[in-house]
Structure 1
Amino acid sequence: MQTVMLHGAGDVAEWRNVARSLALAGTRPEEIDWREGEEASLFAAQPLPSPSAEVASLRVPRAFLDLAEAVICHADAGRFALLYRILLRLQDDAALLSVAADADIAAAHRMEKSVRRDCHKMTAFVRFREVPGDEGSVRRRFVAWFEPDHHIVRRMAPFFVRRFADMDWMILTPKGSAAFQAGDLTVSDAPAVKPDLADPTDALWLTYYASIFNPARLKVKAMQSEMPKKYWKNLPEAALIPTLIEQVPSRLAAMAYQAAQAPPVFHARIQARRQDVDAEPPAPSGTLAALRDAARTCTRCPLHCQATQTVFGEGPDTAELMIVGEQPGDHEDLAGRPFVGPAGRLFDRTLGEAGIDRAATYVTNAVKHFKHEPRGKRRLHRTPNAGEIDHCRWWLRHEITLVKPKLIVATGATAMFALTGEKGRLADHRGSVQPFDDGSALLVTVHPAYLLRLPDPRAAEDETRRFRADLVAARDWLATTPARPSTSNTRNAAPLPETRADGWHAPPSPPR
């Protein structure tokens, strides 16, 4: 039986040198008695065996070295034997680490996860307290006490060096200590004794912690799982937490009462004064500007409740080409302009490649408010339903009436349905110019957002090429079709249309 003695304080190089010698000598796992720390001092050191002629060299993947660096820090005494078994098995099976169901691999990953969690706790719960520094030194000096589960001091010391390089500090633990002084790092494996520390700035920290404590977000079980009791006793704010938890009901009631209060009296006067300064003369009735102003306060459907603002169309009111999308996205909702997000950038680039000037094009959407579903911090797009499209059709038809484009390009099935009332397959209508209302024409193509969602790069490239070809067809049609009679002098003053039998138009004033 080969007895191996290690310090076992997270030093992977110590284990690696011993394990390499044993493996090259052909020593089997069951022939090794691994010992560490104080237990190792009771046994006499044995020389390592000589390399065997049968074992020429050792080969291990880089992933094993990374795994060993974490596992060797674990407090389990069986970690040395576990890593040695995996080392020998890797010589016969190079893909062993990918077998998650293997007992040795599963055990190693459990140890690695436990060590990484302990490292995270150390970065979160170490609290430095200032102590008097050396006379004449310009660097401040701090000391911290921490109780880790594993031998992670050596592993985590470089992190604190990078974070606190401008001061001298010591981190004392029952499993060793780290000291950083004048730019030099020293790590010791000897257990440290908890010091009696007092910092006058603790009172300032406690005041700050109590002021930022949010009772509406209190989750006691989460606090207990993420911050076990052994950490609580070493944190100055732990003394405040029971009292703060007891005050939660009264503080929540106070917050609710405060939220229901009206703003100060002077607030209304300030807002009124600002409105007087910022107020602009109303746009002439029957113009796009007047329609845009009316759309800002649209409440025809529930979508206005969640959206940041109405995203109306933009472009010249004499544009020969109108492009209709589906609805604003997240970027458009915040900016208040159509086609400015990722799909908008693709749209602009493809327009340029097709020889179409966006500045000469009227761009709008079938639905004017962003419909979305909150998902964490993100707002995920949701397709408008038929009722929401019907409500917004009022605005779209008035835009068409005022702009009087020669050609309308519908991008996507929602835009096609808003314009034609048809829910058929978009592919059946795509790419060809068809007659539309009031002497204009319609061309149906895909929405640029569809191109961004395609997972296959080759398919995305082909569809983008087809999208560009549709826009080129629109450009060529406009270039070869005679211009409609000019109404530039009267179009903006024309009254909005009355309701028609087919339901396309609504009364001049949008109902609330």
Structure 2
Amino acid sequence: MHGIDIPLIGAWPAWRAAARRLAAGGVPPEAISWRFNCAGGTLFEQPAIQPELRPAASALGEPMESALLPPDPERSPNATALSVPRAFLELAEAAIAHSDPQRFALLYQALLRLQDEKNVLKDRSDPLIARLAGMAKAVRRDSHKMKAFVRFREMDADQEGRRRFAAWFEPSHYSLERTAPFFLRRFGDMDWAIATPGLIAHGRDGDLAFEPFEGRPTFNADPTEDLWKTYFSSIFNPARLKVKAMTAEMPKKYWRNLPEAELIPDLIRHAEERSRHMVESGVTLPQPATERIKAQQARRNKDAFMTAVSSSEPRLQPRPQSLDAARRQVDACQRCDLHRCATQAVFGEGPANARLMLVGEQPGDREDLAGKPFVGPAGQLMDEIGAEAGLDRSACYVTNAVKHFKFEPRGKRRLHKRPDSAEIQACRWWLDFELEEIRPELVVALGATAAEALTGDGKAILKRRGSIETRSDGLKVLITIHPSSILRIPDRQAAEMQREALRNDLTLALQAVA
């Protein structure tokens, strides 16, 4: 009985060196006892053949058909040279990392059969080949999971001050040695370590090393994990959730080592509710009646447009005589290109003597269809928060900085797209007209676009919110956020905080005009 010791580190070259000598010497499979990562033997075993540790044939640049070296004639006069196809080397290199204790013996059996049956690898119905192929596939999948689910944490710097990172991973097979070169290529400019039960890989200065490892490492607290979990929760799409598909690609056995995994149960639990909310607040394609509405508006305003447009400036219009005249005239506006795709222009509404004016960004999908401002999800939320603050919308004048809906088609939906500075400036002509007609005591700028249209600066809204700024013409503008931004916040607690802040801003606006 031949006892062959296969080490934990370098198992593939060790098995390959031993197998080619045994096969060349004519040793049958039943006369070999393969031992993995252990010492000692039995009374019936001959001294173990010490494997010749060499890289794989592909690394040596040897021809694949002669990758297994010819036998030593002094040891076995009747031995013959061995040859194997490239496919066997690829199969064996992967299968050797499987956790099945019979893998060494099975590969040796396949090696011997290849000497008489050259095409046996092509017969996937053969029980031996099918089993080895399944083992190789499982190892490759295990390697893929390691690449996907390893999470590094920063460790204390070494004596030289170099930053170090470490990770703990629990593979199903002995796949660390064959997968570690991927991380060396990916993170060649940093020092890292990946620990697994029994083996640890070190990457330093572009060099890779392995050593036995027992136990589980302890990690420092990593502040970047909170940022990663925030990002993970923000990109989680409840409408596309398929739990079975997710757990198939990210089995629960890996969850305990993933910082974002603690969020998954709660995300799954509230997925249906969040998905329903997305549908209710989402945009839709125009209804079939949209084109009819646009045609009617075009016919109704054609004559007015032809007389109102200046011959020297065909895209401009004379100043309307009243708010009602402006509502009729705005549909003929061609100051920018947004009129080409929108259903209709949406002018402001409210009493002409309103003391408080609310200015939003632009009409949304529902406003574009209805022809009225703030009737969609954001407008409904504003009404709720305004009512809590004591705001009577019927006593306010409500409008937008831009009068046409700017969107980007996406499948069956029209997704909101923020107006650019040129479009804001072009539409400011209408907003200035509304300000001149209403003459409010205070204007509330809801969001960056409204702030830019009213003050010329749409930046740093969160820092400026709650403050009242005075323009050069004496107009007072209170800066706050747009209610639609609250609808986009996935975290309930954070959304409630922003809702309360908007309510406080509206309360301040009411106090300013009291």
TM-score by length of 1: 0.50
